[in-house]
Amino acid sequence: MNSSTHEAAAIHLSELTRRFGELTAVDGIDLEIRHGELFSLLGPNGAGKSTIIKMLSCLLRPTSGTATVMGRDISMEPIAIKQVIDVSPQETAIAENLNAWENLGLIAGLHGIKRAEAKERARDLVAMMGLTERAGDKVKKYSGGMKRRLSIAMALISDPDVLFLDEPTLGLDPQSRRAIWEHIEGLKGSKTVLLTTHYLEEADALADRLAIIDEGRIVALGTADELKASISDGTVTLVEADGMSEEAIEALRELYPDVRKVHNGAEIRAEDVDVYDVQDVLRPLGVQIRSTQHKTVTLDDVFLHYTGKELRE
Amino acid sequence: MRSMALARRNFLDIWRDPLYVSLTIGLPVFMLVVLQLLSGVDAYFTATSLAAGIVLFGFVMLMFSAAMALSRDRESALFSRLLTAPLRPNDFVFAYSAPYIPVAILQAVAIFVVGLFFDLEVAGSILLVALVLLTVAIMFIGLGMIVGMLFSYKTVPFAYAAILILTIFGGAWMDLSAIGGPIETFASYLPFAHAIDATRDLMINGADFATIATDYYWVLGYTVVTMILAVIVFRGRMVE
């Protein structure tokens, strides 16, 4: 990768590694995120997503490797980086004794936004998050969901060049999640957004590109469609059956190499699955087929394929 | 100034807790009143003589609450968010320290006003008294920043107790010159005795600045060093 490519990238990670004692939380990650791109890190809890965000927002020193944000090195120029980023942490991060306006004003002030502009943005964000009626109350009186929505609004008020959203919709109701998705989608093209999530549909719906991360490593990288295409032609046949044994799975593999046992039967990834062939293989082994259905490949399947685990576990 | 936004939040945090404000201002005043009512005519315990020691006691309380507030914040998700803002360590120290200065002023004013009912007098310049006490207040708030950054919420009270014990060597409750020996020498290396001596000299003897200069510079030196250390400690704790 040449230097001009690095300059074009809003975020560049090179062999970025972070260890906590014996544990390697982030393991030599190379990655480039383009200006205006909405990039998602998808992975289960403990995969290393938040550690990456903490390093990129200059809260955590890398053990080795480097990273730049808008061309600035995270170890050498933290203040310059902090001037162009904002972060929505995974935990709800609000000042409990202030009201919503004051919380938003606090973050706007820290990022040097003029008071009139901050007020206007705060009004929009409070309305978007459905907090207008209670915005004047101390937030310690808010419900958990309201606090969460305010915490996310606080990351959006500074309108930064680079926005880190660490599990932004975790624990939110569908309506609030939808509102935040719409807002994030509106940032596409103009802001660089790094979104971590373990909601597959979130990554699928929002991300221009995504990386599947597991045990601190990127195991797959591309657009959602590219990743889905990488594991099959796009179809999965789900065979729901009673008594699906390992022996039955092995027998199916002789017909179709990509077969997995699932809790209620088996999944076959293959272009043309002949249900009668499947029946012929399974019946002599005492497996009773209840139903078969074709479904399209999802990111869940992609995740399972690359990590051997289900993301929702 | 970006740090003003955080200072404002910390200021509101303090003033929206009326119980805290009342206790911080009320306890030293209560102490003065009780000591006056119990001490009778002992010259060592006149309001004028006691004022400096009681103000010092109030500032130790301030140090404790500043340390507790910072330590509690440090363990919160909000603090991680604040650390991603483009603030430097000195901005953080300012934002967490400055809101306690009005409390310190109110505390001292309350002690002096109530002291008037017990014949408290200021023979020298009240402005010089204010200068000395303000410098002492900033030193204690700076100590609060260091303790709050280094100690957990649970262990801050132990650091508070240690500093409270050290303030005994300020001579507010005993005549250090009468004790003499290593205790007096030890006390002379700490800022507390210098703060109390300077304040008493101004209030009782009507001393001018030249007379208290040595004591004041000891206090000022400690204040500057404390604040520099607070910034260094903050810098060290901003990145894991």
Is the alpha carbon torsion for B210, B211, B217, B223 positive or negative?
negative
* pLDDT digits 0-9 by tens, B100-126: 999 999 999 998 898 888 877 878 888
Contact yes or no for A82 and B85 at CB 8 A: yes
A7: Cβ contacts below 8 Å, ≥ 6 apart = A71
Nearest CB to B239 within list A59, A83, A92: A59
Enumerate the residues of chain B whose CB falls inside 8 A of the CB of residue A162. none
Provide the pLDDT for residue A189: 81
| Whole-number Å distance between alpha carbons of B29 and B224 | 28
Tell me the two tokens of residue A199: 């909601």
| Whole-number Å distance between alpha carbons of A225 and A56 | 27
Q: Check if the beta carbon of residue A306 is closer than 8 Å to that of residue A212.
A: yes
Is the alpha carbon torsion for B3, B5, B10, B14 positive or negative?
positive
Number of A/B CB contacts below 8 angstroms equals 79
- Find residue A69's DSSP bridge partners: A11, A72
Phi, psi of A64 (to 5 degrees): -155, 170
> Which of A98, A110, A140 to mutate to probe the B interface, most B CBs <10 Å?
A110
Contact yes or no for B240 and A54 at CB 8 A: yes
Q: Check if the beta carbon of residue A52 is closer than 8 Å to that of residue A14.
A: no
Phi, psi of A239 (to 5 degrees): -105, 105
Contact yes or no for A91 and B85 at CB 8 A: no
Query: SS3 for A282?
Result: helix
Q: Is A284 on the interface with B (CB under 8 A)?
A: no
| Whole-number Å distance between alpha carbons of A308 and B2 | 48
Q: Which residue numbers of B have CB closer than 8 Å to A's CBs?
A: 2, 4-6, 8-9, 12-13, 16-17, 76-78, 80-88, 238-240
**Which residue's entry shows tokens 């606080």?**
A154
Q: Is A93 on the interface with B (CB under 8 A)?
A: yes
Enumerate the residues of chain A whose CB falls inside 8 A of the CB of residue B82. 110
B203: Cβ contacts below 8 Å, ≥ 6 apart = B48, B51, B52, B120, B121, B122, B123, B124, B129
Provide the pLDDT for residue A2: 43
In chain A, the N- to C-terminal Cα span, in Å, equals: 37
Type of residue at B54: I
List the single residue in B with minimal CA-CA distance to A163. B84
ipTM: 0.80
pTM of the model: 0.80
| Whole-number Å distance between alpha carbons of A125 and A186 | 13
Contact yes or no for B2 and A78 at CB 8 A: no
List the single residue in A with minimal CA-CA distance to B92. A110
* pLDDT digits 0-9 by tens, B139-175: 999 999 999 999 988 888 888 888 888 777 766 666 6
Question: DSSP assignment of A184-200, as one string?
Answer: HHHHTTTSEEEEEES-H
Q: What is the pLDDT along chain A (313 residues), one digit of tens a residue?
A: 444 444 568 899 999 999 998 899 999 999 999 988 999 998 877 888 889 999 999 999 999 999 999 989 998 899 999 999 999 888 888 999 899 999 999 999 999 899 999 999 999 889 888 888 898 889 989 888 888 888 888 988 988 899 998 888 887 788 878 877 887 888 888 889 999 887 888 888 888 899 988 888 998 888 888 888 887 666 778 888 887 888 888 888 888 888 888 777 888 877 777 888 888 888 888 888 888 888 777 777 788 778 876 655 4
List the single residue in B with minimal CA-CA distance to A86. B84
B76: Cβ contacts below 8 Å, ≥ 6 apart = A93
Query: Nearest CA to CA, how far is B107 from chain A (Å)?
Result: 23
Residue B228, pLDDT above cutoff 50:
yes
In chain B, the N- to C-terminal Cα span, in Å, equals: 26
Query: Nearest CA to CA, how far is B81 from chain A (Å)?
Result: 7
Provide the pLDDT for residue A129: 81
| Whole-number Å distance between alpha carbons of B189 and B70 | 28
Q: Check if the beta carbon of residue B160 is closer than 8 Å to that of residue B64.
A: yes
Nearest CB to B86 within list A79, A89, A105: A79
Q: Check if the beta carbon of residue A176 is closer than 8 Å to that of residue A145.
A: yes
A38: Cβ contacts below 8 Å, ≥ 6 apart = A184, A185, A187, A188, A192, A193, A195, A206, A207, A208
Report the candidate in B67, B73, B220 with the shortest Cα–Cα distance to residue B138: B220
